[in-house]
């Protein structure tokens, strides 16, 4: 089931700024305010949109984003211990994304945010200690200090990408 043109336009506008009123959104999209209200409510109920802020992590004092690649020992652990993984994530709320996948020799990927290297190091010690028998873990560290970040974490560019997807080919 694909999204309709109006739905994609609304999602795109909400990604850019979810604090706008339905009236402002209607004007930007070129449809009526009641239609925006009805479509927004349906998209919320269906779980297609939810609201959150994307903070500037560096300005909040965070120095590191860690991309964690895990390779599960399938012979010893053919199934991932989901409750154990969920517990670890719950105890480490700086973990912002975890998923199964495939690539670069791994089958699990996580993303975590850390105030400094000491915090990151403690996090990794706990992760490796709890998962030592289950998977091998490697990381790619991103420094949020300096000029190394070419594109800050944001979905505004993705909003423009959605608009391109809705245009006739």
Query: Which tokens belong to 74?
Result: 């399938």
- The CA angle 55-56-61, to the nearest 5 degrees, is 110
pTM of this structure:
0.80
Give pLDDT < 70 ranges for the chain: 1-3, 165-169
For the chain, the domains span 5-53+154-166, 64-143
126 and 135 Cβ atoms separated by less than 8 Å: no
Helix count (H) and strand count (E) of the chain?
A: 6, 4
Q: Which residue has the tokens 């490697």?
A: 138
What pLDDT shows up at residue 147? 84
The CATH topology of domain 5-53+154-166 is Arc Repressor Mutant, subunit A (1.10.10)
The CATH topology of domain 64-143 is Alpha-Beta Plaits (3.30.70)
DSSP string, 10-75: HHHHHHH-TTS-HHHHHHHHTS-HHHHHHHHHHHHHTTS--------TTTTT--EEEEEEEEE-TT
């Amino acid at each position: 089931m694909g999204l309709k043109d109006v739905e994609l336009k609304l999602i795109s506008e909400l990604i850019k700024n979810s604090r706008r009123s339905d009236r402002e959104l209607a004007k930007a999209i070129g449809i009526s305010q009641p239609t925006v209200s009805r479509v927004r409510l349906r998209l919320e109920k269906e779980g297609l949109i939810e609201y959150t802020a994307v903070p500037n992590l560096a300005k909040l004092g965070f120095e590191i984003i860690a991309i964690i690649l895990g390779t599960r020992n399938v012979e010893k652990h053919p199934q991932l211990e989901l409750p154990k993984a969920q517990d670890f994530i719950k105890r480490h709320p700086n973990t912002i994304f975890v998923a199964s996948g495939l690539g670069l020799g791994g089958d699990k990927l996580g993303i975590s945010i850390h105030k400094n290297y000491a915090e990151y190091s403690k996090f990794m010690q706990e992760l490796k200690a709890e998962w030592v028998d289950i998977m091998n873990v490697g990381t790619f560290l991103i420094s949020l200090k300096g000029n190394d970040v070419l594109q800050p974490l944001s979905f505004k560019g993705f909003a423009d990408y959605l608009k391109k997807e809705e245009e006739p080919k």
